[in-house]
Amino acid sequence: MANVVVVGAQWGDEGKGKIVDWLSERADVIARFQGGHNAGHTLVIDGKVYKLNALPSGVVRGGKLSVIGNGVVLDPWHLVSEIAKIREQGVTITPETLMIAENTPLIMPYHGELDRAREAQVAVGKIGTTGRGIGPCYEDKVGRRVIRVADLADQATLELRVDRALVHHNALRAGLGLEPVDRDALIAALNAIAGEILQYAAPVWKVMNELRRAGKRILFEGAQGSLLDIDFGTYPYVTSSNVIAGQAATGVGLGPNAIDFVLGIVKAYTTRVGEGPFPTELHDADGERLGTRGHEFGTVTGRKRRCGWFDAALVRQTCAISGINGIALTKLDVLDGFETIKICTGYMLDGQALDYLPTAADQQARCTPVYEEIEGWSESTEGARSWADLPGAAIKYVRRVEELIGCPVAMLSTSPERDDTILVTDPFED
């Protein structure tokens, strides 16, 4: 039985929601392994739109187990309200269908406040975060002062954890001109929500190993995109977790041999939200057109996404780092009607040709894209369900993308509707 990891292979927003939903129908277990409610996953099922942030996409499908792994950072108040909203849409969520790792770090209100206060210090340059406290919570995890799900079960431990965290945070807050945290109010708020969260708490590493041994199909649902990875992304304009496929194992407590297929989600052009380098960004009518046709607005913050041509050099790089076996190419229809389409194949830096994006920030900023031009197509590709439905020039574009990134297309998505998909390889059956 194959277990599949889905990761974004660009800067996030590649259209993972639809692909994950398609795969989750075939899976028994759907697990989130990193990130938090900075993610915005939109699922359209039978015309009904579901918007998820922290919950794994499997929750909207009956009979599946959804897992929030230890690699995630979890805002308990946000989770409770997300569960309430999704229940209002008729979805059933119980401790039998949702499991949260006991060792998952919790996002506190002071994490969000710190995130936003830092972003307001414009003098040192902002990252453009979602302001949801993701980075500060991961910092506390590594700094050994985070409050974890299991800590909610014991009053003495909880108070100790809060006191340890506040020694650090109140000092920081004083420096940023923020009021100290009201310790007793925080503990009361945590006690009030503890029962809601603890009903889902479990030793996820153990359950996942048992499920794997029992031959259950596991889908690891990545959030964000590889270029936002804390190690391999465009640092410091990144998120604070490892988002690449290797994290799937660590983020739930399985060994790396649990992963059989890595599916990279790749948009047929490039977008990015927030600050940071973006070599193929367009500031002209073509960029506007990609944004308008692609509805490129952030689902979490509503920000307009920056848009540009497809960057094959970057995707080649992320395919290598995540060990991507096949890609799901999304939003090809947004390119319909362009007379010519550009693909970035590499960069020029100080007169030298490069086939990858260098690590140093100043070099990234100086890299200029090398483009090749491909003939566009005037026909619509929206809703295509077989190769025969695609114009020849669109097929040529897809084949050229495959060649340049060194990875085959496993799936091609041609609209937000789940059936508008051309399947080449079923990752679970590969």
Annotated catalytic sites, by residue?
Answer: 13, 41, 141
Which of 69, 274, 279, 346 touches ligand IMP (CB under 6 A)? 274
The answer to whether 149 and 197 have CB atoms below 8 angstroms apart is yes
For residue 45, the minimal CB distance to ligand IMP (Å) is 20
Residue 301 annotated as part of some ligand binding site: yes
Does residue 135 interact with ligand IMP by CB under 6 A? Answer: yes
Residue 258 annotated as part of some ligand binding site: no
* Binding map of ligand IMP across residues 112-131, x = CB under 6 A, - = no contact: ---------------xxxx-
Concatenating the DSSP letter of every residue in 74-124 gives: B-HHHHHHHHHHHHHTT----TTTEEEETTPBBPPHHHHHHHHHHHT-GGG
Stretch that binds ligand IMP, among 34-42, 96-104, 254-262, 413-421 (CB under 6 A): 34-42
116: exposed, middle or buried (C-beta count within 10 Å: 0-12, 13-18, 19+)? Answer: middle
Does residue 326 interact with ligand IMP by CB under 6 A? Answer: no
Residue 18 annotated as part of some ligand binding site: yes
Does residue 224 interact with ligand IMP by CB under 6 A? Answer: yes
Which of 4, 7, 39, 312 touches ligand IMP (CB under 6 A)? 39
Does residue 264 interact with ligand IMP by CB under 6 A? Answer: no
Least Cα distance to 131 among 221, 37, 217, 18 occurs for 37
Which of 3, 10, 24, 38 touches ligand IMP (CB under 6 A)? 38
- Helix (H) or strand (E) run with residue 194 in it: helix 183-198
Residue 224 annotated as part of some ligand binding site: yes
Residues forming beta bridges with residue 130, ordered by sequence position:
none
The answer to whether 49 and 42 have CB atoms below 8 angstroms apart is yes
Does residue 12 interact with ligand IMP by CB under 6 A? Answer: yes
Q: Tell me how far apart the alpha carbons of residues 251 and 23 are, in angstroms, rounded to a whole number.
A: 20
Residue 389 annotated as part of some ligand binding site: no
Does residue 296 interact with ligand IMP by CB under 6 A? Answer: no
Q: Which amino acid is at 384?
A: A
The answer to whether 313 and 341 have CB atoms below 8 angstroms apart is no
Residue 415 annotated as part of some ligand binding site: yes
| Strand pairing class (65-68; 4-8) | unpaired
Q: How many degrees, rounded to 5, is the angle at CA 60 between CA 267 and CA 408?
A: 30
Which of 166, 223, 265, 343 touches ligand IMP (CB under 6 A)? 223
Does residue 14 interact with ligand IMP by CB under 6 A? Answer: no
For residue 239, the minimal CB distance to ligand IMP (Å) is 3
Q: Tell me how far apart the alpha carbons of residues 84 and 416 are, in angstroms, rounded to a whole number.
A: 25
Residue 302 annotated as part of some ligand binding site: yes
Does residue 247 interact with ligand IMP by CB under 6 A? Answer: no
Stretch that binds ligand IMP, among 37-45, 151-159, 194-202, 283-291 (CB under 6 A): 37-45
The answer to whether 355 and 346 have CB atoms below 8 angstroms apart is yes
Q: Tell me how far apart the alpha carbons of residues 329 and 278 are, in angstroms, rounded to a whole number.
A: 20
The answer to whether 11 and 273 have CB atoms below 8 angstroms apart is yes
295: exposed, middle or buried (C-beta count within 10 Å: 0-12, 13-18, 19+)? Answer: exposed
Does residue 72 interact with ligand IMP by CB under 6 A? Answer: no
Which of 273, 312, 335, 409 touches ligand IMP (CB under 6 A)? 273
For residue 130, the minimal CB distance to ligand IMP (Å) is 3
Does residue 240 interact with ligand IMP by CB under 6 A? Answer: yes
Q: Tell me how far apart the alpha carbons of residues 75 and 66 are, in angstroms, rounded to a whole number.
A: 17
For residue 33, the minimal CB distance to ligand IMP (Å) is 14
Q: How many residues bind ligand IMP, per CB under 6 A?
A: 20
Does residue 53 interact with ligand IMP by CB under 6 A? Answer: no
Residue 342 annotated as part of some ligand binding site: no
- Which residues are part of a known binding site for substrate? 299-305
- Which residues are part of a known binding site? 12-18, 38-42, 130, 144, 224, 239, 299-305, 331-333, 413-415
In the complex, the residues that contact ligand IMP under the rule CB under 6 A are 12-13, 38-40, 127-130, 132, 134-135, 223-224, 228, 237, 239-240, 273-274
